[in-house]
Amino acid sequence: HHRGLCCKSGIFSSDVVLVMLEDGDRTKALVDMKKTVIAVDLNPLSRTAQTASITVVDNVTRALKNIIKNCEILRNNRTEIDETIKNFDNRGNIDEALKYISKRLG
């Protein structure tokens, strides 16, 4: 089917792909293509969240506003951008989201 195809001037040539409401298979395929995959997902245990390079556990609308705001803040600070990328731990990020959810439940 056409979902498996990608345009050379789009996803195929990109370094970073933002995915929302995706299935885990597409996310895995993008990661296997050596793409940095940023996933926005409410469920930190989903295949998409578990497979992505960077997982944002949040509502899509709120997440996009925060991503845009932080991009604007960091736009001219290459050192902080590089340091953040170097030190980012998605497994730890997901673990923190799960701890937060667990605290809210009980």
Report DSSP letters for 13-76, one per residue.
G-SEEEEES--HHHHHHHHHTT-EEEEE-S-TTSHHHHHSSEEE-S-HHHHHHHHHHHHHHHTT
Domain positions in the chain are: 2-105
Is residue 25 scored above 80 in pLDDT?
A: yes
User: Tokens 């960091």 label which residue?
Assistant: 74
> What pTM did the predictor assign?
0.84
Task: Tell me the average pLDDT of the chain.
Answer: 90
The pLDDT score that the predictor gives to residue 52 is 96
CATH number of 2-105: 3.40.50.12640
Is the pLDDT at 2 greater than 60? The verdict is no
Pairing of β 36-40 and β 16-20: parallel
pLDDT at 27: 93
Q: Which two tokens stand for residue 51?
A: 């497979």
Q: Are the CB atoms for 53 and 90 separated by under 8 Å? A: yes
pLDDT > 70 in the chain, percent: 92
Q: Which residue has the higher pLDDT, 21 or 88?
A: 88
